Amino acid sequence: METLLERIQQGHFWDFPGGIHPPTRKELTSQHPIAEVPLPPVLYVPIKQHIGTIGQILVSKGEHVKKGQALTNGLNHLDVAVHAPTSGVVQEIKEHISAHPSALPELCICIQPDGLDEWREREPWADYLNYSKEQLLRRLQLNGVAGLGGAGFPTHIKSATNAEIEFLIINAVECEPYITADDLLMQEYPEAIIQGIEILQHMTGAKHVLIGIEDDKPLAVTAIKAAVGVERGFHVCELPTQYPSGGEKQLVQILTGREVPKGGIPADIGIVMQNVGTAYAVSRAIVADQPLIHRVVTMTGESIHQPKNVWALLGTPVSHLLDHVDFRPGLNQRLIMGGPMMGFTLPSPDVPITKISNCILAPSNQELPPESPEMPCIRCGECAIVCPATLLPQQLQWYAKAKDYEKLESYNLADCIECGACSYVCPSDIPLVQYYRVAKAEIKTQQQEKQKAEQAKLRFEARKARLERDKQERLEKQRKASEARQSTSEDSNKIEAAISRVKESATDKVAAAIARAKAKRQPTEDESPDNSEVIAAREARKQQARDYKESKQTGTEPESSPTDKKAAVAAAIARAKAKKAKLAEQSEATEQSKDNSSENASEQDDRKAKIAAAIARAKAKKAQQEDAESLGEENVEPKSNATDDKKAKVAAAIERAKTKKAAKEAEANAQGEAETQASDLSPEEERKAKIAAAVARAKAKKAQKDNDQGKN
Amino acid sequence: MTIIYALIALGVLALVFGAVLGFAAVRFKVEADPLVEQIDAILPQTQCGQCGYPGCRPYAEAIANGDEINKCPPGGESTIKELANLMGVEPKPLDDAHGQEDVKKVAYIREDECIGCTKCIHACPVDAIVGATRQMHTIIIDECTGCDLCVDPCPVDCIDMVPLKPKAESWKWDLESIPVKVVE
């Protein structure tokens, strides 16, 4: 039984399940040397070009930066710095369309090159093997090295592994059709690549180095073999061309026969894999202190009439690169970033090149015909045969369409490497990979939401516990306070009792004294009551009776009646006068009291006036609102002929917006006035003005609510 | 005589089994209703109260006691589906009386208009608003569940519900594919 190493030396490799053999079309670009491209007018450097977190931005608008100057820092472990690709001026820091299938804008630092291409100070480490692992890792992070293979995983994290590493595998397979960026890099810079591999081996402590290259790159194989030499002991492994042998798990399987466990990383089985482009970037970063600011990009496809590889500065818009390769767009021209199997269509040619963009494909319509309509699955099983991860693509497809995420997980959707082999062989043109991508994204969001829900629940429960605790504390406080009160009230009861006793005795004595005094005074006071009226009345009655007697005695003489009448009239007049006098007296008294009270009232008058003014204001506002309402209604009326609910809602919304706007304007005016009236108001007054504004807003809200309620 | 033996034997057996069952009941006691836990795990935990219960857990308890499963607008269709699976009932469309499913939103305080009344802080079920009396308040976006409960108490109407901006990390692929056929 030959050992693993012997097998590798003899070139006996394993195979992975499935795989396809699409036309490679690499001859379009593999014979042309890597070309330089003039500086673009503006570079859009995205601050995030890797997996992980973003560092803090170090530059500001208008600042002059030198080539290789860090634009973001790498303080966090997951940060990877980005650098100025050339010297120039930071024009802007703004969101720009991103090199992501979503094309969602991402924060970019826009640099206008000054054409000098002036480097920052560099500190080359030619004797790199004398530096410690930590120093080298830190330098990689600060120089922004991330995996150039496609995922952009930070190299300093991958290389920091503490596991015992048996194999360092350099992935130079480049199995995707069309792409020749790594091929050309190996042809032109084999020494630098070998240097990078040495550094990587030094950092990871790998016992053996395997360099995997597909056998369709004979020039690259010879170049690398020559650079490796004999004494280094690196194994250059020529592999049969097959897609997707460049997948991490697939390459591990081909070279070592080992399988990366589900959910694990190659380091779990003693393997670290790096892309060949990364090895080159590592050597540049460590030896020459050149941060990762450019990369090789394959410009290919039949719409490009000078297909070739170019050195593209990171942040160069794709359109600028296309200008230098004789790009002649056809009808419905598509631009694909990445290869035809795993790439994505660019939404716009303004997308900048990032660390992970290895190819721009501009195919003609004959080359990559527009998508044909999807037909029903005929259950031929081709997809399951070619799947390199031995999944069941058609089953996955059914569940992805049914959105049955549990089933998808049980069918190991997470192990799908999205290589696109299943879509390639599908006779029904079902875009299987797209279904999986959608489903994967959905599963990811659901997991995130679940996590968030869990967090929300924890917070909710913590809050509930806190409120309960506060309540208990409050009750406890109240209880203590009442206890304290009771204990003090017992004391005070005694005191009160004592006081009352003293008082009682005192009042008793006083009362007795008063009573005595009263008793003394009473006899004199008894005469004092004013009985004159009664007496007068009695006198008058006596007089009447006498008169009556006289008249009887005289025998009802008519002459006597006038005097009788006269007396009666006089009495009546007197009574009336007395009454009048009394009334006058009373009215005088009330007038006096009124005068007293009116003095108090004058103070209130101000307030009343104010209230009145406020009411007036409120009324004015209401009227204004009604105006606005009626306006709104008028505006919407022609539209709201239909009985749509929606329209009514829209109308309501417009009204609300208008009233709000009016309120805001009023507020703004008020504020403006306040400001103009007293620009040097004391802060307190300013605050008052603010409060007034807030009150106004609150009132407006209330009014609006009432309106809404009225509507409802 | 045999009948007495038989009775004794049965009696002893009954006692033994009773003891075993009693012990098991104490030893393996289930703390809470696991069904409520499971339902609670499915609910979105926005604590918004749109279902008519004061929080997600009370609603979970209500579902366990036979309430309808279609009263949760933040959870939407997917939650109803999961609940239907769990409860073994047919999924129903969302009950409109409790609101409609909407895009994910978070609250946003227009900070220059905030008067620092702390009313929203008291209303927030997940303590996602920071601020103090007469100081400006602000919302911790990552903690906000979008429950809407802070909007109404605001006396100056300075809280908006803003849809969450999609990020590249949370973006979902569309089905617009790249055909991979290469014509020879």
Which of residues A402, A430, A459 is at a domain's end? Answer: A459
Assess whether A264 and A394 both reside in one domain.
no
A-contacting residues in B 55-94 (Cβ below 8 Å): 55-56, 78
Is residue A275 very low, low, confident or very high in pLDDT (cuts 50, 70, 90)? very high
**Residue A571: per-residue pLDDT:** 67
Instruction: Let me know whether A253 and A156 are in one domain.
Output: yes
The CA distance from A651 to the nearest CA of chain B, in Å, is 19
Average pLDDT of the segment spanning A561-574: 62
Which of B77, B98, B119 delimits the end of a domain?
Answer: B98
Residue at B151 is within a domain: yes
Average pLDDT value for chain B: 85
Q: Please say if the pLDDT value at position A223 is more than 70.
A: yes
Domain containing residue B48: 34-98
Say what the pLDDT of residue A77 is. 86
pLDDT on residue B179: 44
CA distance A650 to B28: 59
- Please tell me the total count of domains within chain A: 3
Same domain (yes/no): A379, A285: no
Same domain, A265 and A392: no
Residue A398 identity: W
Task: Give the pLDDT confidence score for residue A470 in this predicted structure.
Answer: 93
Q: Identify the pLDDT of residue A320.
A: 95
Mean pLDDT of A44-55: 87
- Count Cβ atoms within 10 A of the Cβ of residue B76 and give its class: 0-12 exposed, 13-18 middle, 19 or more buried: middle
| pLDDT(A364) > 80 | yes
Helix (H) or strand (E) holding B106: strand B105-109
Q: How would you write A477-519 as a 3-class SS string?
A: HHHHHHHHHHHHHHHHHHHHHHHHHHHHHHHHHHHHHHHHHHH
Whether residue B182 and residue A343 make contact (CB cut-off 8 A), yes or no, is: no
**B107 and B161 part of one domain:** yes
Please check whether residues A141 and A240 belong to one and the same domain. yes
User: B113 with B72, same domain?
Assistant: no
Q: Do B183 and A369 touch (CB under 8 A)?
A: yes
- The answer to whether A434 contacts B173, with C-beta atoms less than 8 Å apart, is yes
CA distances from A441 to A657, B36, B41, B174 (A): 37, 29, 21, 10
A85 pLDDT exceeds 60? yes
pLDDT at position A667, please?
57
Residue A260 sits in a domain whose CATH number is 3.40.50.11540
Is residue B65 domain-resident?
yes
Tell if the CB–CB gap between A434 and B175 is shorter than 8 Å: yes
CB contact under 8 A, B40 and A457: yes
Find, among A173, A242, A175, A178, the residue nearest to A386 by Cα: A242
Q: Which of A270, A289, A308 is the last residue of a domain?
A: A289
Expressed in angstroms, the distance from the first to the final Cα of chain A is: 86
**A15 φ, ψ to 5°?**
-130, 155
Bigger pLDDT: A678 vs A117: A117
CATH number at residue B110: 3.30.70.20
The answer to whether the Cβ–Cβ distance between A434 and B45 falls below 8 Å is no
A98 interaction partners in chain B (CB closer than 8 Å): 168
Percent with pLDDT over 90 in chain A: 44
Tell me the CATH number at B77. 1.10.15.40
Tally of domains in chain B? 2
Average pLDDT over residues A544-558: 65
Give contacts of B 14-53 with A, CB under 8 A: 40, 43-47
What is the pLDDT, as a whole number, of residue B47?
A: 86
Position A404 scores a pLDDT of 87
A283 and A155 share a domain? yes
Q: Which residues of A touch B166 (CB under 8 A)?
A: 102, 104
Same domain for B142 and B88, yes or no, is: no
Mean pLDDT value across residues A157-184:
92
User: In angstroms, what separates the C-alpha of B157 from chain A's closest C-alpha?
Assistant: 7
**Residue A278's domain spans which residues?**
127-289
CA–CA distances in Å: residue B72 to residues A409, B45, B48, B81: 26, 10, 9, 12
Q: What is the mean pLDDT of residues A94-121?
A: 89
Alpha helices in A557-642 (DSSP H): 560-636
Tell me the pLDDT band of A568, cut-offs 50, 70 and 90: low
Domain-embedded: residue A318: no
Q: What number is the average pLDDT over the span A575-584? A: 70
Q: Collect all residues with Cβ–Cβ distance below 8 Å to A467 and sequence separation of at least 6.
A: none
Best CA proximity match to A153, nearest among A58, A239, A272, A237: A272
Answer yes or no: is B17 within a domain: no
Are residues B112 and B158 located together in one domain of the fold? yes
* Interchain contact, A372 vs B179, CB within 8 Å: yes
C-alpha A63/C-alpha A84 separation (Å) is 12
Q: A711 pLDDT exceeds 70?
A: no
Instruction: Say which range, A326-330, A378-382, B33-37, B60-64, has the weakest mean pLDDT.
Output: B33-37
Q: Starting from the edge strand earliest in sequence, which strands make up the sheet with A64-65, in order?
A: A43-46, A106-113, A88-96, A64-65
pLDDT confidence tier of residue A674, bands split at 50, 70 and 90? very low
Task: Work out the minimum CA distance from A14 to partner chain B, whole angstroms.
Answer: 27
Shared-domain flag, residues B87 and B141:
no
Say if residue A560's pLDDT is above 50: no
Q: Which residues in chain B are closer than 8 Å to A366, comparing Cβ atoms?
A: 183
Chain B residues with CB-CB distance to A343 below 8 A: 178
Q: Residue B46's pLDDT band (boundaries 50, 70, 90)?
A: confident
Please state which of the ranges A168-182, A690-704, B107-121 shows the lowest mean pLDDT: A690-704
Show which of A271, A289, A307 is a domain's final residue. A289
End position of a domain, from candidates B78, B98, B118: B98
* Helix, strand, or coil (residue B46): coil
A648 pLDDT tier (thresholds 50, 70, 90): low
- Tokens 């980005």 appear where? A82
Q: For chain B, give the percent of residues with pLDDT over 70.
A: 89
pLDDT range class, residue A94, cuts 50, 70, 90: very high
Q: Are A422 and A17 in contact (CB under 8 A)?
A: no
Q: Does B175 touch chain A (CB under 8 A)?
A: yes
- Give how far A466 is from chain B: nearest CA, Å: 11
B96: contact with A, CB 8 A cutoff: no
Report the pLDDT value the prediction gives residue A635, as an integer from 0 to 100.
46
pLDDT tens column, B72-96? 888 888 888 888 988 888 888 888 8
pLDDT value for A488:
81
What was the pLDDT predicted at A231? 80
pLDDT band at A491 (very low <50, low <70, confident <90, very high): confident
Contact criterion met (CB below 8 Å) for B114 and B158: yes
Residues of B in contact with A370 (CB under 8 A): 179
Query: What number is the average pLDDT over the span A469-485?
Result: 94
Identify whether residues B143 and B128 lie together within a single domain.
Answer: yes
Q: How many CA atoms lie within 13 A of A99 on its CB side?
A: 32
Cβ neighbours for A300, distance < 8 A, ≥ 6 positions apart: A25, A28, A29, A178, A179, A180, A307, A359, A360, A361, A362
Q: What percent of chain A has pLDDT over 70?
A: 78
Contact B175 A435 (CB under 8 A): yes
Q: How far apart are CA B98 and CA B102, in angstroms?
A: 12
Query: pLDDT tens for residues A614-635?
Result: 576 656 656 665 655 555 444 4
* Per-residue confidence band for A298, with pLDDT thresholds at 50, 70 and 90: very high
The whole-angstrom separation of Cα A22 and Cα A9 is 28
CB contact under 8 A, B45 and A340: no
Give the pLDDT confidence score for residue A161 in this predicted structure. 86
Quote the minimal CA–CA distance from A18 to chain B in Å: 17
pLDDT at A360: 94
| ipTM of model | 0.78
Q: How far apart are CA A260 and CA A254, in angstroms?
A: 12
Mean of the per-residue pLDDT values of chain A: 82
Residues in chain B within 8 Å Cβ distance of A459: 126-128, 143
Q: Which residues of B touch A708 (CB under 8 A)?
A: none
Q: How does pLDDT run across A423-453, given as a tens digit for each residue?
A: 999 999 898 988 898 899 888 888 888 888 8
Interior angle at CA A544, CA A543 and CA A548, nearest 5: 120
Using a CB-CB cut-off of 8 Å, the residues of chain B touching A369 are 179, 181, 183
Q: Which residues of B touch A460 (CB under 8 A)?
A: 45, 47, 55-56, 125-126
Amino acid identity, residue A689?
A: A
The pLDDT assigned to B130 comes to 92
* pLDDT surpassing 50 at residue A642: no
Which domain-ending residue is among B56, B72, B98? Answer: B98
Of the partner residues A23, A104, A698, the one whose CB lies closest to the CB of residue B155: A698
A685 lies in some domain: yes
